[in-house]
Amino acid sequence: MRRTNTLLRTLPHFLTWRAFRFRTFATTKHLETFTEQFEIGSSVITLETGKIARFANAAVVLAMENTNVLSTVTASKANDAVRDFLPLTVDYQEKQFAQGVIPTSFMRREGAPRERELLCGRIIDRPIRPLFPPGFYHEVQVMASVLSSDGKQDTDVLAANATSAALMLSDIPWGGPIGMVRIGRICGQFIVNPTMDELKLSDLNLVYACTKDKTLMIDVQAREISDKDLEAGLRLAHPEAVKYIEPQIRLAAKAGKSKKEYKLSMLSDNTMEKVRNIAEAPIEAVFTNPSYGKFERGEALENIAQDVKRVLEEEGDEESLKVLSKAVDTVRKKVVRKRIIAEGYRLDGRQLDEVRPLYCEAGYVSMLHGSALFSRGETQVLCTVTLGAPTDAQRLESVVGPPTKRFMLHYSFPPFCINEVGKRGGLNRREVGHGTLAEKALLAVLPPEDDFPYTVRVNSEVMASDGSTSMATVCGGSMALMDAGIPVREHVAGVSVGLVSELDPSTGEIADYRILTDILGLEDHLGDIDFKIAGTRKGVTAIQLDIKPAGIPLDIVCECLEPAHKARLQILDHMEQEINVPRNKNDSTSPRLATLKYNNDALRRLIGPMGALKRKMEEETGARMSVGDGTLTIVAKNQSVMDKILEKIDFIVGRQIEVGGIYTGIVTTIKEYGAFVEFNGGQQGLLHISELSHEPVSQVSEVVSVGQKLSLMCIGQDVHGNIKLSLKATSPRPGGLETNDAVEESVASAKETANIWAPVGNVSSTQEQNSAHELSLGNLELGNAKSQTSQVPVILIRSAAECDEEEKSSSLNLSSKSPHVDNGVQLDRKSKSRSQNAKSRRSQDVDAPSSHSGPLPYKKSKPSMQKESKSDIQKPKGDAQEPKDKVTAEDLKLGTQVTAKVSQIRAHGLVLDLGGGLRGMYRFEENNKRDFKIGDEMRVVCSSFSSKGIPVLSFVNDQ
């Protein structure tokens, strides 16, 4: 305590220092800071302590370029609670200030821990937990916080190394330090500490943690990397991770605390001897009986524990009763390990490398988009797949990585799967970790986003658990994806490998060990490692290694890869027997996916102010819409929902008007001669009084009224651009006749007046029904050569200007009553006027894409109906400008040779422009598909005609 002069305290105020405006200055002790700087790969890393968080037991800031991570550790001062485990808590935080962003939440604060924060906490927890001494049951808390991030480096590895350094500086007993490093691979070259941009190009994301000579933790995400290349990556990672260890030791020598003497809860030799004498023989009898199931075995072991408890209560041994559970578990562990190492037999009687019996069933729940049931032994998992629009992708707010995630796998472990009572809470670290591991494994075989831009959610529900449910999730999820029709390249399977070792008492090193394939839950608990390995036939896609002792030699870890590979192939065989290719979902419950092309003005009308109209349509129909630059993606639960949403979109935005197309409109005005109808996104059409009904109509108001919603057929367009509509064309003729002569005459009259043409590219041949090799030029669905129904050619309405010009040049042709040949297709009037179903018309819309029945590899198809230029309009005979090597429809015969240009490129062939408005088709032959471009010229010969009169052409060189 500072002493002051008594005389100075009694001076009058006018004689004090303050009266003369003098100030006193207090001296502050300078902060003593300790740093260590070292280089790994191409990065310079700095460890710093002493500047901030000085009240924590220990605190370290690790810096790499502009990324800084703070890690602090604290421990409780006394172990008052009776426990037999280490209550270690690891909290990892990424607050938005680290990247200069204010949170977008309502409160503008960070909420509950996100998935990434939980996963990074597990990355830190798994390698440091085994290094605490046995019997140390004091509560320990690690808090890692990102202070700043430049987005270049993933902060999880930095936080783990900072935590190791903090534990070294603290007075907490710990067997570290550890080093953790990330390894990537680009073009076959391994990279140490890759940046986030480099990881996007890497086919390997390996996180490796170790002590100076032993492996502690492995976490891998890969794109089918071979076991040999994976082993090479592990052997490279070990010496690089060790480079983190020496700087931590130097920092601890300068600023570390001496380790405190904590009370350890150890089992006494007396207690162990009593429990062993009572329980060892009965436990061995249970473990040597392979007929026991999980719960029968557990019940028998619990009865043995109760027998031991009764004996200790009779003896009055209170100290042994406090640690009874730990003592009985220790006896179980020794009995199991001794039998496996000495005799090579496991709890259920299997050989060491034997996989449990398998059961696979794809499509278990038929109503869902995709589902699968997978069982291995008594472990059973139900996986389901749900497809959504691109806007359904999960939004991420981490300081590094992509902003969204389109593939999600959610793992759920309900209490009933182990016959326990419990309640469901929020995010569980174990569930998040297992789900992410399976997600990494399946991500490698998903199609690229450009080919399949839809959001996919896989949900894994554990029905029964007896070990390795995460690997069962991988197998079930792979089958569910194929059942949903998602074009995954091949199956992914996973298996868990265990290890039982025996230590040399003198050196503490492993003297003998056994590797176990497909471990049970009890073998996981009583063994040394849980090595989860997932992959395809080509290679590994995901790995997670958890170790219980204080490290395992890397040689033993690499040795586990071979039995895991053999077991994986065996599981893949069973899965492929159940389902080996993605299914084509054609049932009414499968999802419907469509992408439509619109200009931005049309999309703005569709979205409405602040997206209100889009949200309203989604609520009314149940579909999801995703709007991009010029594209509209729609995801519907089934075909009926897709029909509803397309009908609403057509009404708001509209589509290209087609003669014969069915449209829904609303009557806006009634006149004496007919009614004006608004349809197709605000366009106006005239419903003449003669087109109201098959029967004579005296007044228009007797049939329709203002505001009435009607289903109408477009029958033509006059020279002034007025659209003609017909109501009677959509209703059956009295007497049950399907044809309507009046409608046919009105359609034919409209054709003659406007000179309407039908592009060959939309004609579907009836021969497609009988021959799988017939080329369908009118089907917009990719890879599908068969038309849905026998449809008539679609008639497009040309502009008024084109019609006026054509009328002047070809007025003589309009009076001809013979069947009109247009663009090389003989148009039959009756077939042109048949009423088409609105659904089939919608599938041929110029803006509509491939109408997927179930998810297929997504390709943006070009519009199959395009307006022709004036040069493509059929010219009258005798046109002096007609090229000599071009022919008209009348001149084209079998064997006629002509020079053609590629007009359209289809999945199964080409649409060729023969000149003079005449078109034909060329079918690709098997294994003879060449690269073509629109506009290419080639010499072709007419080899045949389709049933619709379309010329079928062959290359002259092909003859």
Residues 646, 559, single domain; the answer is no
Residue tagged 């075995």 (tokens): 297
Structural domain contains residue 300: yes
The last residue of a domain, from among 730, 751, 778: 730
Structural domain contains residue 318: yes
Residues 208, 309, single domain; the answer is no
Residues 104, 206, single domain; the answer is yes
Here the CATH number for the domain that contains residue 600 is: 3.30.1370.10
pLDDT of residue 760: 28
pLDDT, mean of each 10-residue run, the chain (959 residues) = 47 53 50 90 91 93 95 85 83 91 86 91 95 91 95 93 96 94 95 93 96 95 95 96 96 92 84 89 87 86 90 86 88 90 86 94 89 95 90 85 91 91 82 95 91 89 93 96 92 96 87 93 90 96 94 94 96 95 74 80 87 91 84 83 87 75 86 86 83 87 88 80 85 59 40 30 32 30 31 35 46 38 34 37 38 39 35 37 52 78 78 80 68 82 72 71
Query: Which tokens hold the place of 682?
Result: 């605000």
Structural domain contains residue 192: yes
Residues 106, 86, single domain; the answer is yes
Residues 603, 706, single domain; the answer is no
What is the SS3 assignment for 897?
strand
Structural domain contains residue 795: no
Q: How far apart are CA 942 and CA 921, in angstroms?
A: 10
pTM as predicted: 0.70
Q: How far apart are CA 394 and CA 396, in angstroms?
A: 6
Residues 229, 308, single domain; the answer is no
Structural domain contains residue 106: yes
Here the CATH number for the domain that contains residue 313 is: 1.10.10.400
Structural domain contains residue 261: no
Q: How far apart are CA 433 and CA 444, in angstroms?
A: 18
pLDDT of residue 735: 59
Residues 406, 442, single domain; the answer is yes
Q: What range defines the domain where residue 708 resides?
A: 661-730
Residues 182, 144, single domain; the answer is yes
Q: How far apart are CA 625 and CA 871, in angstroms?
A: 39
Here the CATH number for the domain that contains residue 908 is: 2.40.50.140
Structural domain contains residue 646: yes
Here the CATH number for the domain that contains residue 556 is: 3.30.230.70
The last residue of a domain, from among 548, 578, 608: 578
Contact 447/486 with Cβ under 8 angstroms?
Answer: yes
pLDDT of residue 316: 85
The last residue of a domain, from among 653, 673, 694: 653
| Total count of domains within the chain | 6
Q: What is the largest CA-CA distance in the chain?
A: 131
pLDDT of residue 890: 62
Distances (CA, A) of 664 to 207, 603, 710, 797, 862: 59, 20, 6, 18, 26
Structural domain contains residue 645: yes
Element (H, E) at 205: strand 204-210
Residues 675, 633, single domain; the answer is no
Tens digits of residue pLDDT in 360-404: 999 999 888 899 999 999 999 999 999 887 878 888 888 888 888
Tens digits of residue pLDDT in 255-306: 999 998 888 888 888 888 889 999 989 998 888 888 888 888 888 999 999 9
Residues 239, 279, single domain; the answer is no
pLDDT of residue 428: 85
Residues 159, 307, single domain; the answer is no
Residues 87, 166, single domain; the answer is yes
Query: Which tokens hold the place of 933?
Result: 């471009």
